[in-house]
A and B are shown apart, each in its own frame.
Chain A
Amino acid sequence: MTPDSCWSDLRDAAQVLKSRHLSELLGDADRFDALAFEYDGLLLDLSRQRLLPETLDQLVELAEACRLPAKIDALIGGEPVNCTEGRAALHTALRTPAGKSLSLNGEDVIAGVQGTLAKMEALVDTLHSGQWRGYSGEAIDTVVNIGVGGSDLGPLMTCRALSDFKPAAARGIELHFVSSMDGSQLSGLLSSLNPATTLFVLSSKSFTTIDTLANAATARQWLLDAGGVDSEVILRHHFIGITAQPEKAGDWGIPSQNQLLFWDWTGGRYSMWSAIGLPIAIAIGMEGFRRLLAGAHSIDTHFHQAPLRENLPVLLALVGIWNINLLDIHAHAILPYDGRLAHLPAYLEQLEMESNGKRVRTDGSDTEGHTCPVLWGEIGPNAQHAFYQLLHQGTESVMCDFIVPAKRYTDRGLELQQQHRLALANCLAQARVLALGDRALDDDTAADAPPWKRYRGNQPSTVILLDELTPYSLGQLIATYEHKVYVQAVIWGINPFDQWGVELGKKMATAMLDELDNPGQANTLDSATRGLLNRINSLRGQG
C-alpha cells in the first residue's frame, strides 16, 4: 500500500461514514470495548469518534505506508528529525532514567541529562532548606520565573496542575511566572515582593529572547535600586539562568554556578522536562519532578514499542487525521474537567499549533490538505457557560478532547468529593449530548421541541480518563500529546520541530522600534503601518 492508495481508501470510507450519525454508531453495544484503549492507567476512549473499528485499521495502514515505525525509531534514536535545523529532537532522552545511554555526536546524552538533574536537585535542596540567601542574608522565599513560550507555558501549566503535591519543604517558597513583554505582569508583582528574598529564574533557550531580557533588565534594576550592593552580588544571589547558550547567559551576567543548561536538541515547547522545569521541581520537589519524568518515560516506551493499533499517541493522532483530512473538521477544543488543568489548553495550543501549523513539507513542496486545526480550550465546566453554545448549535464542526481524572479529593471532605462528582457528571453528559444531540432524549420529547431547542449532535469527541491527576499521570498525558503531534507531522510530511513562522515578525519588530524612536527614517513602510505610526508618534509627542 502506498500513502496515496491508503488516502483513497480512507476517502471512500469517509463518504460512507459521513452520512451516519454518531447516535447510530453508538447503538453498537460493543463499541466502547472496541474503541477504548488503556495503557498503564491512562484510558483513551475513542468511541464517540465518527468512525468504526475498521477505520482505525485503515488509518494504521496509512501510518505504516508513511513509514511511521521507522520515523518513531528515528525520533527516539536521536536522528536529525528536525531537518530544517539539522538536529535531533530528543525530549524523550530528557526523561530516560539513569543507567541507560544514548550517543549523539559522540557524547552520551543521558549522562548529560542526569548531570543537569543532579545540579537541579542540589539547587532545589538549597532553596527548600532555606539556605539560598539573598543580599541581606535572609533566605529566599519567592521565586519568579521569567520566560515566554515554552519557557513559561510548560512550567506554569504543570505547577498549577500539581499544586496539591507540594512537599512540606516547598511550602515556604512562593512561585510566580512572568512572561509578557510589556512588563504588565512584572510591574504589578514587584510592588508586592521583597527584593531581599526574591530569586529570579531567567529561562531562555537562546538567551536572546527580547521579551525575557526586557523583563530581566527591569528585575535586575529593581534589585540594584533596593539592595545598595554591587551588581556582581545581585547576579550571584538573585539570578539563575536556564539556557542552551551558556556564553550568552554569561555575557548577561549569570555566573556559571547559577546556570542550568539544556541542549539545542530540546525544542522550546518540549522543554519542561529539561532544566526549564526548575520551577516545577521547586514547586513539587525533585522527587515529584522525577515522577513526572517517569510518567512521560512510560509513554515513550509504549510509543516506541507498542503496535500502532494499540499505541495511544498514534491512535490519538490518527483520529485527528481522520477528523481533519477526511471529515473536514478544522477546530479542536481542549476541555479539561479539573480546574487544576486550567493552563493545559494554552499549553497544547503552543504544542500543537507551533509544531504543526505548517504548509510546507520536509521536501519543500506544499502540503495537499489541511494540517493543524485551530485549537483552543478552557476548563470544561466554565466553557459550558461560554462557548459550548457554538459546539451544540453552531454551524462549525468541532472535535473535542475531554480530559478528566476519575478520582479527586479522596483525602478531603465529602463536599469536595461531591463537587468532583458534579464535574464528572457534567463531563460525561456533555460528551454524550455532543455525540447524540437531542437523540439522547426519547424521540417524542425531541421532536416536540421548537427548532431553537433542537440539538443536532454528531460532534466527535475523545475522552481521556486518568485514574487520578498526579505527577506521573500528568507526565503520561503530556507525553501522549507530544507524540501525537509527531505522528501527525509524519503523516502530513512536515517538520514539527521548527518554527520559522515566528521569526519574521520578531525581525520586523526590531525595525519598528527604530521607527518609534526616530520617526520618519524609513520610507519603505506600507501606508497602513505608516498611518498608525504617525498617529502613535503624534500622541506620544503630546506627552
Chain B
Amino acid sequence: MKICVWGDELAGWVATAHLAGYGNEVIKAGSALVPAESAIRIEPGLMERIEQGIAAGRIRSSEEEDPFSAEIHWLAIGPGELEAASEIVAHLSAVHQGALLVVNQSNLGTGASDELQARLEQSRNQHVVYLPDMLQGGQAMRQFAQPEVLLVGCESESAGTMLTALMRPFTREGTEVRLMSRREAEFTKFAITGMLALRLGYINELAMLADHVGVDIETVRDGMSTDQRVGPHYLSPGCGFGGHHFTQYIEGLAGLLSKTRGSTLLETVLKQNEQHKELPFRKLWQHYRCNLQGRRIAIWGLAFKPGVATVESAPSLRVVDALLAQGAIIQLHDPEALEDFRFHYGEQQQLVYCDKPYDAVDGVDALLLLTAWPEYWSPNYTELRRLMRDPVIVDGRNVYDPHLLHDLGFTYYGVGRAGH
C-alpha cells in the first residue's frame, strides 16, 4: 500500500519505520528523512529500521514523490496544529475522486477527527479513523509492533477493514481491538494524559510536603509503587514537566474542564507545575539568605527533557529569568539545547554559554541540575568539588545520592529530600 506520513511526532517516525518494513511504500512528508530530535533518534531500533527502509527505497521524501498521490495518510502532527491538518485533508479531498483513509494519530483534541472527516467526501468512501498515540519513549517500536490492545475510533466498516488490513502484520498475536467512536477514542486519550499529569502534580506536591515533614520522597515513592493500584509510572518528582506539546495538550484539557465544568482540577496542576519549575531557584534563594546579587551559578541541562534540543516550556527558562532578575551570573551547559537557548536569550552580560559541563561549574557558588541528561548522572565529584567556589548542588531531578554528596562535602538540595 502507498502511505504518506505527516508530522514529526515520535508516532509518525515509528509508523514510517514499521509500515515500510512490511512492504508498504511510505512517503515521509517534509524534506527530512530522519528525525531532527535526538530524543526520537535514540528510540531503540528506530533508526536502523528507517535506514533499512530508505536503502530499500520504501521510504521516500515528499520531494521525491508527491505526498498527495497516496491513498492512505497517517497524521502524527503536534497538538495545536489542527488547522494544518485540516488543510492537508481538504487538499486530499480536492485531488482524490476515489477512496481515502486518513489515520489520525495526532493529539488535536476531542472532536478534531470529526472536523477532519467533515472535510472529506464520505460518499466517495473517504474516511478518518482515530488511533490514539499510546507510545512511550524507549519502548515505542515494540509497542507499535506488538500492541496488546488497539483502541480505534472508527465509524465506517470499510475504513475499519482497511485499517485492519494495514495493521495486520502487527496484530496477529492476539491483539485485542477495541472499536469506539472517534470522539470517544479522542476523549480516552485526553483522559489518560490528564491522569498522568495529575500523577505528576500529585507526586510533586508530596515532594514539597516531604521537605516539610523531613522524609525522602524517593523512599516514599518506592513504597508507593509496591501497591499495584498505584504502580511505578509517572511518579518521579522533579522540578516540573515541560515540553510544548504535553503542556499544550494538558492546557487544552484543563481549559475544557474549567469552561464546561467549572473544574479547576487540572488548572491547579498546571499552575503548581509552573511554580514547581522555579523550585531550584527557591532552594538557592533560601540557601543564600534571599540575596543572589553577583553570585555565579552553573546550570546543567536546559532542554525540557533529556534527548531533545529544545527548551520550550522548560524549567530552565523560569530559573534563568529569576536568576537574571536577581543579578546573578549564570554559566550554562546543555549537550544539545544550548543553541536553542542562545536563540531565545542571545548574548547577555550575565549569561556565559559553556560547551563543556566542567567549564560551566568553574568558580560557581552553586550548581543547578535541571535536565537529567545521562552524562550528568555520574560526574567526577573530585573535579566538581575542586572547580566550584562553594560546593552547593541543587538537584532538580533527584539523580544524585544525598548521602554520597554529603560525605563528599557538598551541600545537597533535592526535590523532597530534606530528610537528609
Question: Does A229 lie at the interface of the complex (its beta carbon under 8 Å from any beta carbon of B)?
Answer: yes
Q: Are B282 and A237 in contact (CB under 8 A)?
A: no
Contact with B along A262-289 (1 / 0, CB 8 A): 0000000000000000000000000000
List 19 interface pairs A-B (beta carbons < 8 Å), by A numbering.
Answer: A129-B321, A129-B325, A131-B326, A133-B285, A133-B290, A133-B326, A135-B286, A135-B290, A136-B285, A136-B286, A137-B322, A138-B275, A138-B278, A138-B282, A229-B290, A233-B290, A236-B290, A236-B291, A237-B290
Residues of A within 8 A of B322 (CB): 131, 133, 137
Residues of B within 8 A of A233 (CB): 289-290
Q: A135-B286, A137-B286 are in contact. List 13 more A-B contacts (CB 8 A).
A: A129-B321, A131-B322, A131-B325, A133-B322, A136-B282, A136-B285, A137-B282, A137-B283, A137-B284, A137-B290, A137-B322, A138-B278, A229-B290
Does more than half of chain B's interface fall in helix, strand or loop, or is it mixed?
Answer: helix
Q: Which of B277-317 contact A (CB under 8 A)?
A: 278, 281-286, 289-291
Nearest to B289 among chain A residues (CB) is A233
Q: Which of A323-361 contact B (CB under 8 A)?
A: none
Residues of B within 8 A of A131 (CB): 321-322, 325-326
Nearest to A126 among chain B residues (CB) is B325
Residues of A within 8 A of B325 (CB): 126, 129, 131
Residues of A within 8 A of B278 (CB): 137-139
Which of A133, A135, A138, A229: most chain B CB closer than 10 A?
A133
Residues of B within 8 A of A139 (CB): 278
B289 to chain A, nearest CB (A): 6
A129–B317 Cα gap in the complex (Å)? 13
Q: Which of A170-203 contact B (CB under 8 A)?
A: none
Residues of A within 8 A of B321 (CB): 129, 131
Residues of B within 8 A of A229 (CB): 289-290
A234 to chain B, nearest CB (A): 9
A472 to chain B, nearest CB (A): 31
* Interface contact tally, CB-CB below 8 A: 36
Residues of A within 8 A of B275 (CB): 138
Nearest to A196 among chain B residues (CB) is B282
B→A interface (CB under 8 Å): 275, 278, 281-286, 289-291, 321-322, 325-326
A313–B290 Cα gap in the complex (Å)? 50
Q: Which of A133-154 contact B (CB under 8 A)?
A: 133, 135-139
B192 to chain A, nearest CB (A): 31
Contact with B along A210-235 (1 / 0, CB 8 A): 00000000000000000001000100
A136–B290 Cα gap in the complex (Å)? 8
A139–B325 Cα gap in the complex (Å)? 12
Which of B282, B290, B321, B325: most chain A CB closer than 10 A?
B290
Nearest to A227 among chain B residues (CB) is B290
B54 to chain A, nearest CB (A): 48
Nearest to B321 among chain A residues (CB) is A131
Residues of B within 8 A of A237 (CB): 290
Q: Across chains A and B, which 5 residue pairs bring their CB atoms closest together, nearest first?
A: A137-B282, A131-B325, A137-B285, A233-B290, A237-B290
Nearest to A233 among chain B residues (CB) is B290
A138–B283 Cα gap in the complex (Å)? 10
Residues of A within 8 A of B326 (CB): 131, 133
B53 to chain A, nearest CB (A): 48
Residues of B within 8 A of A236 (CB): 290-291
A9–B186 Cα gap in the complex (Å)? 87
Nearest to A230 among chain B residues (CB) is B289
A115–B326 Cα gap in the complex (Å)? 22
B294 to chain A, nearest CB (A): 15
Residues of B within 8 A of A135 (CB): 286, 290
A237–B290 Cα gap in the complex (Å)? 8
A125 to chain B, nearest CB (A): 10
A139–B326 Cα gap in the complex (Å)? 12
Residues of A within 8 A of B284 (CB): 137
A424–B322 Cα gap in the complex (Å)? 48
A138–B325 Cα gap in the complex (Å)? 13
Nearest to A236 among chain B residues (CB) is B290
A195 to chain B, nearest CB (A): 14
A233–B288 Cα gap in the complex (Å)? 11
A236–B285 Cα gap in the complex (Å)? 14
A139–B283 Cα gap in the complex (Å)? 14
Nearest to B278 among chain A residues (CB) is A137
Which of A126, A131, A236: most chain B CB closer than 10 A?
A131
Residues of B within 8 A of A138 (CB): 275, 278, 282
B320 to chain A, nearest CB (A): 12
A204 to chain B, nearest CB (A): 25
Which of A126, A129, A137: most chain B CB closer than 10 A?
A137
Nearest to A125 among chain B residues (CB) is B325
Q: Which of A444-499 contact B (CB under 8 A)?
A: none
A394–B289 Cα gap in the complex (Å)? 65
Residues of B within 8 A of A129 (CB): 321, 325
A228 to chain B, nearest CB (A): 10
B95 to chain A, nearest CB (A): 43
Residues of A within 8 A of B290 (CB): 133, 135, 137, 229, 233, 236-237
A233–B282 Cα gap in the complex (Å)? 14
Residues of A within 8 A of B289 (CB): 229, 233
Residues of A within 8 A of B283 (CB): 137
B323 to chain A, nearest CB (A): 10
A126–B325 Cα gap in the complex (Å)? 8
Nearest to B282 among chain A residues (CB) is A137
Which of B281, B291, B321, B325: most chain A CB closer than 10 A?
B325
B234 to chain A, nearest CB (A): 26
Residues of B within 8 A of A136 (CB): 282, 285-286
A244–B140 Cα gap in the complex (Å)? 67
A126–B321 Cα gap in the complex (Å)? 11
B208 to chain A, nearest CB (A): 11
Nearest to B318 among chain A residues (CB) is A130
Contact with B along A512-533 (1 / 0, CB 8 A): 0000000000000000000000
A278–B290 Cα gap in the complex (Å)? 24
A499–B322 Cα gap in the complex (Å)? 46
Residues of B within 8 A of A126 (CB): 325
A288 to chain B, nearest CB (A): 23
A179 to chain B, nearest CB (A): 29
A451–B10 Cα gap in the complex (Å)? 87
A283 to chain B, nearest CB (A): 21
Which of B275, B284, B289, B326: most chain A CB closer than 10 A?
B289
B214 to chain A, nearest CB (A): 15
A396–B36 Cα gap in the complex (Å)? 83
Residues of A within 8 A of B286 (CB): 135-137
A140 to chain B, nearest CB (A): 12
Contact with B along A91-127 (1 / 0, CB 8 A): 0000000000000000000000000000000000010
A26 to chain B, nearest CB (A): 53
B297 to chain A, nearest CB (A): 14
A138–B289 Cα gap in the complex (Å)? 14
A237–B292 Cα gap in the complex (Å)? 13
Contact with B along A398-422 (1 / 0, CB 8 A): 0000000000000000000000000
Q: Which of A305-331 contact B (CB under 8 A)?
A: none
A137–B328 Cα gap in the complex (Å)? 14
